[in-house]
Amino acid sequence: MNEFEYLIDNFKQLPVLIKIVWILSGILGVIIINLVIYLKYLRGYLRNKEKIFAKFQSEYEGELINYLYASEEEDATKLKIVKKMKTCIKDKFKRKIFLTVLSKLKNDISGEMADSIQHLYVESGLIDYSLAKLKSSKWDVKAVGIKELALFEITNVYSEISKYKDYPKQEVRNEVQLYFVNLFQFKGLDFLNDLITPISEWNQIQLLEILQKFDDQQITDISPWLKSENKSVVMFALKLAKIYNQFQVINILLELLAHENKDIRVEAIKVLSYFQANEAKQILKNNFINSSIDEQIAFFNMLEGIVETSDEDFILENVSHENFEIKTLALKLLKFINTDRFNSLSLVASDVESKAIFNYLEDN
């Protein structure tokens, strides 16, 4: 006790700054002790949580398998399982596990069993939790809710979900778009008609992948989207035009060659190139000098498929182009339409770069 009093007395006599430092050290010490204790608890908790998660996961998987394989005469078994699940999902943690198991199964199976899972999702009341998530003020909860409704193919909330198609948070918009396309296939793309916000490249790829999985590959008219004021919608429509061979939109694609956005112009050339649209050739030749390098490269790539001997003069104008790629493509095309001219140019090539290109093209 005396030692403690001695320390207190000493402390009182210290300068103010030192007192503050010691007090701060004391506070840090207490924080560290608490953090260490909490860290021990946290690690134990996370380990246990994983174990419990695995335990319940395996239990629910078993129950679900029983549910799925129960014959029509075993309605009592099914009802019993549904009742049990209804009780389980009142607990947030168990609900999460149940949903994980259900989602995994839904992704892995198809046909009647998938319908049964969907039925169970509704019967067990999980749907109510997903719908409640839609009302959440937290964007991430809202996005998860939409994802769940898409996974379990709940189509009757279309109008509710449509409200979020231009939601400020991109992640929510992504889920809305995935919901539309997953559930309504090509018809689901109607959201593009009046979409104001941009679709990310990431989501465009996802949407295209989902669309390609459907049996019915009958695409709706993409013309309005190619004329959209939303640049990302035009870019997406260009991808659709290429993948789904939309030859009927060539005239609109030709108009896009004069679009104000360079990326759209380049993409339009690529799609026209894919369609081997000869109509584009003269337009692009006329605009060539005023085009960006990317457009010029795209045009020369296009010429690879549609080049004719009448293009020789234009090609010759570009065999000494300062851009390596254009120069190479021009010489490649020249070799194709007039080998003699190519060979004669090869003989007089003097710079290292040109020689390398000629050497390469002679062997390939």
Applying CB under 8 A, the residues found at the interface with another protein are: 14-15, 17-18, 21-22, 24-25, 28-29, 31-32, 35-36, 39-40, 42-43, 46-47, 50, 140, 143-144, 147, 170-171, 175, 198-203, 205-206, 208-210, 232, 239, 243, 324-325, 328, 353, 356-357, 359-360, 363-364
Q: Which is nearer to another protein, 93 or 324 (CB)?
A: 324
Percent composition of the chain: helix, strand, coil (DSSP 3-state, to 5)? 80, 0, 20
What gap in Å lies between CA 61 and CA 57, rounded to an integer? 6
CA distances for 233 relative to 125, 179, 226, angstroms? 37, 17, 7
Q: With contact defined as beta carbons under 8 Å apart, do 302 and 269 qualify?
A: yes
Q: With contact defined as beta carbons under 8 Å apart, do 149 and 161 qualify?
A: yes
Q: Which is nearer to another protein, 198 or 224 (CB)?
A: 198
Nearest distance, CB of residue 40 and another protein, angstroms: 7
Nearest distance, CB of residue 328 and another protein, angstroms: 7
Nearest distance, CB of residue 24 and another protein, angstroms: 6
Q: Which is nearer to another protein, 37 or 122 (CB)?
A: 37
Q: Which is nearer to another protein, 145 or 315 (CB)?
A: 145
- What would the two tokens of residue 111 be? 């046909």
Q: With contact defined as beta carbons under 8 Å apart, do 227 and 241 qualify?
A: no
To which residue do tokens 């004719």 refer?
A: 308
Nearest distance, CB of residue 161 and another protein, angstroms: 15
What is the full DSSP assignment across 188-226? GGGGGGG--SPPPHHHHHHHHHHHHH-S---PPP-HHHH
- What would the two tokens of residue 65 be? 């398998």
Nearest distance, CB of residue 17 and another protein, angstroms: 8
Q: Which is nearer to another protein, 29 or 62 (CB)?
A: 29
Q: With contact defined as beta carbons under 8 Å apart, do 100 and 59 qualify?
A: no
Q: With contact defined as beta carbons under 8 Å apart, do 317 and 288 qualify?
A: no
Nearest distance, CB of residue 70 and another protein, angstroms: 31
Q: Which is nearer to another protein, 17 or 348 (CB)?
A: 17
- Of 99, 96, 106, 3, the residue nearest 50 (C-alpha): 96
Q: Which amino acid is at 271?
A: V
Nearest distance, CB of residue 183 and another protein, angstroms: 15
Q: Which is nearer to another protein, 31 or 258 (CB)?
A: 31
